A and B are shown apart, each in its own frame.
Chain A
C-alpha cells in the first residue's frame, strides 16, 4: 500500500487495528481459561501481557509512515482553533499580511508585464528601434524618409521598416468617421512578424510614388465596419477623399503607439516633406537578420551614418545612428515611476512583516508556559518547532491567498487609475511567475515569523518557566521588541516624508500660473472633409467657415483655431536667430512656434504685454508678422519690449519677420515640466500667413479652441452638430477642456501623491498598532513590578510617565533613523519626478510631528491602563 492510500483508508485501518488487537487479547484469554484461569483474571493477564493497548496502537500508527501528515493535520487544526480563540489577533495579522502581499503583487505584476516580459511579437528580442544621435540634441527617434530608404537599402545586418502617423476621415463605406491611421513602409508587418488575418501585407512595388492606392484595415475596424467578413479584402474605401483597395486585414495587437484603424503605404505619400532630409517625422524599427548580433549591427549603422554624413553634410553632418531594444522604446519612461512605487510598496510589506513578527513574538512569549508544558509532557524540540512553524505558515498561506485574490481584483482599477495610458496595459495579467513569487513571499514570511518564537522554546530549566510564569522578561525579547518598533517607526517616517514632499510639490505646482485663463475653454481637433482639401483657397474658406459657424453656437463667447494647444501633446520647435544667417547650426536657439487665428489671445486669456496680436489685416500678401512671448523677448533680446524688432526663422522664410506684439509666457509643457524644458520661448504667427503649399499639411494639425459663457462641456454637442460642414463629414475629436489639460499635466505627481499618501497612511497605522501592541505587551509583563512600585508609593501618574518615557525613547530613535532615510528618498524622488521640490524642514517637521503624536497616543493607552493597575491584584498575580 502506498502511503497516500494508507492515509486515505485511515478509518478502515484504525478499525482493523482495533479488531486485530481485540482478537489477540481474546485468544490469549481463552487459552488461559483453558488452562484453568478464572475468566476475569485471564482477560487481565492478557491485557498485561500485551502492554497498554493505546501505546501499541500508537506504535502501529508510527509504522504506517503517515505520521507526519497526521501531525501536520493536527497542527493545522490546533492553529485554527488558536486563531479562533483570538479572532482579533488573527484578523489583524491576516489583514496586514493580505494588504502587504496584495500591494506587492499588483506592483510586481505590472512591472513584470510592462517592463520585464518580452513584447508579444515572435522573437521580439531581435527587434530594435533605430534612433539618430547628435551632440546638440542627444538621442532622437525622428528619421527623415530619404534617410530611412538609404538605411533600408544599405543595411545587410537588419531589415528596417518605417511608420508615421496618418489619421483621416473615412467616408465610404458607412457614415463619415475620423480614423486613427498609420503610414507604413512595406516591411512593417514582416519585421514585426505578424501575419495578416486575411489578404496580404503591402508589396515593395506598392510602397512607391504613383503606385495604385492600397490599404490594410485594422482588426477592430474590420469587426466594426465590415462585419468581420473575409470579403472586406478587395473592397474599396474612400479615405481622405481618395479611393483605396483593401488588400489585407491586420491582426489586433499591432503596437505602433496603439492600435490603428487603417494602414496605407508610406512610400505613396506625395508631401514635400517626405523628400526633405531635414524633416524627421518617421519612426524606424528593424529586425536583426538571422545570426547577426546587436553589436555587429551597431557597427554597420555607424558606417552607414558616416556615409550619409559625408554625402549630405548639411542635413546629416554629425549625426550617427543607434540601435535600441524596441521594448525600451515601447515602454518609454514609465520604468522609473514603476520601480519607485515598487520600492514604496516593499517598504509597506516590510513594515507589515515586522508588525506580524512582533505580534507573534509577543504571543509566543506569553505562550512560553504552554510550550514548556508540552516539552514536559514529552514533545521533543523539533516537534514544538514544527508546531510553531505550522501555525505561522497557516497564517502566511491564508494571508497569501487573500492577498493574491485582493491583487487580482485590484489590478484593473490600478491600471485604469494610471495617469495617461500605461504602455502595454493590455498585456497586464497575473501570471504564474507572479503567483509563485507571491506564494513564496507569503510562505517564507510565515516561516520567518514562526522561527523566532519557536527557537525561544526552553528545553532546560522547565521548572523555572512553569513556576515563574513570565514574571520577568528576558532581555533579548525586550531588545527584539524595541528594534521592531524602531524599524516600523523609521520606515513609516520615510514614507510619510516622501508623501509630504509630494503633497507640497503638488500644492506649489497647482498654484503656479499656467499663463492663461483655463476656465470655460474647450478645445478639439478638427478633421476637415477630404473634399474641401483640394485647393488652398477652399481650405482657407473652410477654416473661415468653421470659425463663423462655431461663433454662432449659443453660449460661445469667442473662438479661434491653432495648431498647438498648450499642455496637450504635439509641438513644433523651430530654430530662430536675431541676425540674418544663411544656415542654422546646432547652437541656434529654438522656440516653440504655433500658428493662430486673431481671437486666440482672447479665447485663451493670455495677457498682451506690448504691441498688438494679429487681426484680419494680416494676410498672405501683407508684411510677415510675429508675436513672441516674454520668455523669447528676454532670451533673444535681453529686454521685454521688443515690438518692431526682427527675427529670422529659416524654416518659415528667408526674409526677416517683424515682431508686432509681446504676450505672457504660457506653460506649454505642463505646470510641472515647463521650467525644466529645453524649449520654452514661444512664437506665434498668423494662420492667414501660412504658405498655400503647406495649408493641406497644416489642416491635419489644426484644432479649435472656444471660450464659453456656459459650462464648456455643454457646448460640445451643439458645436459638433454645427461644424459638420456642407457635406456633413467634418469630424471633431480629442475634445478636452483646458482645465482637464492643466489637471492632466500634473497627473503623474497627483498619482504618486495618492499612492504614497495611501502607503504612508497604512505605514502610520501599522506603526501605531505596532507601538501599541509592543507597549501593551511590555507593560502587561511588568504588572507585578508596577504593583510593587505602587505599593511602595508610586502614584498612577508616575507609572504613566514611566511607560511614556520608555516609548518616547523608542519613538525618538525611530524618527531619527527615519528622517535620514526620508531625506535620502526625497532626494531620489527629486531625480525622478519633474517639478519635485527639495526636502524642506517644514515638511519634515510636520510629517515627523504627525507620526510622533500618533505614536504617543498609541502608547498612552497601555500607559493609562498601567497607571490604573490594582495593586493588590498585581501583587497576588501568580
Chain B
C-alpha cells in the first residue's frame, strides 16, 4: 500500500511529540496534556493544571516545535544532498554549512551581546550568514565555466570546512569568553527558550523544504547522471543549483539556533531508504517526518539521562543513532538499495 509508510512515520512522530511534551524535570501525564490542549478550545482550564499549562506553553511546546523543525530540516536537506551528489556519505554539512556556521557563531560569541531582542539574535544570525556565505564561496570556487562538477564541489567543501574548523578552534582558544557556550553550539543543543527561535526559522524551512519536496522527480532523474537527466528533459544545471541553495538555506536556518547536530541528516534518510525505497518523491517527505521524530527522541534522552543536567543533543544522536542504524543496516532485506 502506498500510504502505509506515511502512516507509520506519522505515528512515530506523534509518539515522539507526546514523549517530548510529557518528559522533563516535571512529568506531565498525557491526561493533563490533553486537558491543557482541550482547555484552549473550550476556554476552561481544570483546577490544578495551571502549572502544567505554564510549563507546556512556555517551555515544552516551543522546545518541541524547535526540535521538530530542526530534525525535519537536517533530514530533509540530508536526503536532498545525498540525491544531488549521488553519494551515500553526503550529509547536510558536506559543503561547509556547519563549519561556516560554527565559525560565524564562534566569532559572534567572542563579543558580549546585550540581552535584547537583537542581542539574543546576534549569534544565530552570524551563524546563518556565515553558513550561506560559505556555501556561496565553495560553489564559486568549484565552478568551471557554466558547470559545477560534483567532485569539485565536494572537494572544495571539504577543504574549506577544514580551514573554517581550524579557524574556529583558534578563535575559541584565543577567546576570553565562555568556552562552554561555544562548545555547546558545536555539539548542538537547544539553548534558547521561548517561541522566537522556532518562529524565526519557520519561513526558511517552509520555503526550502517545500521546494525540495516538489523536486523529488528531479532528484530521481539525477540518479541516472547529469547527461541522462538532461536528455530526459531536465534543465540540470539550474535545478541542481536551486536544490543546493534550498537545502543549504534550510540547514543554515536549523543550525543557526540549534548548533551543529551531527548524524541525523546522514542517517535518517538512509533508514527511510532502507525501509521504504529510494523514490525521492516519497523519500523526501518521509525523511522530513522521520527526522523530526528521531531528533525529538534524541532530545528527550539528552534531557533525561543526566537530569537535571542536559546533554548536548549532538552526543545523543551519534551515541544512540549509530547502533540503531547499524542494526537497521544488518536487518535490511534489500541490500544494494542505494
Binding between chains A and B: no
Which of A's residues lie within 8 Å of B, judged by CB?
A: none
Which of B's residues lie within 8 Å of A, judged by CB?
A: none
